[in-house]
Structure 1
């Protein structure tokens, strides 16, 4: 039950409580690169959400690959990378 509450807290923090769940944690066939998008003016939201997802992987090992993927961009978060984080959060709604 705590896992569900924690997931809902992360969704609320990201403003995604009313969003539709998605079926896959990452977009197939499309990889983010170093040059994708403009840097976020305030990377705190990105880092906070990624940190929350890292904690969630303790009980949701199915998210580990996707969370590790977005962790690679923790130093240079962009709007496109934030979209990837939000997609992972939406996947978390499914369970």
Structure 2
């Protein structure tokens, strides 16, 4: 009784290291492309998502209140995190026709 073993060799192309100049040029093109896409969406009104932040606040009469802040369209999470450093969860309102769909984070 003979046993046959089959083996396969997979050759993958090696990754070429990019120079610092190539990395800078690549990142510059990515940033230009990102800005172009954002401007295009803004002009066409395609990206009208709104960010929502919730947190608790203790009022003057020691009553705990829930504060909900809805930001204008076009503000991203990084900008909100800089404004509200104590907020961990940032929710999203996505437009669906004439209404908004609530998308809760985490």
Q: Specify which structure has the higher proportion of strand.
A: 2
Larger radius of gyration between Structure 1 and Structure 2 = 2
Q: Of the two structures, which has the highest relative contact order with CA contacts closer than 8 Å and spacing of 6 or more?
A: 1
Q: Specify which structure has the higher proportion of helix.
A: 1
Q: Per the shorter chain, which TM-score range? A: under 0.3
Q: TM-score, normalised by structure 2?
A: 0.21
Q: TM-score, normalised by structure 1?
A: 0.23
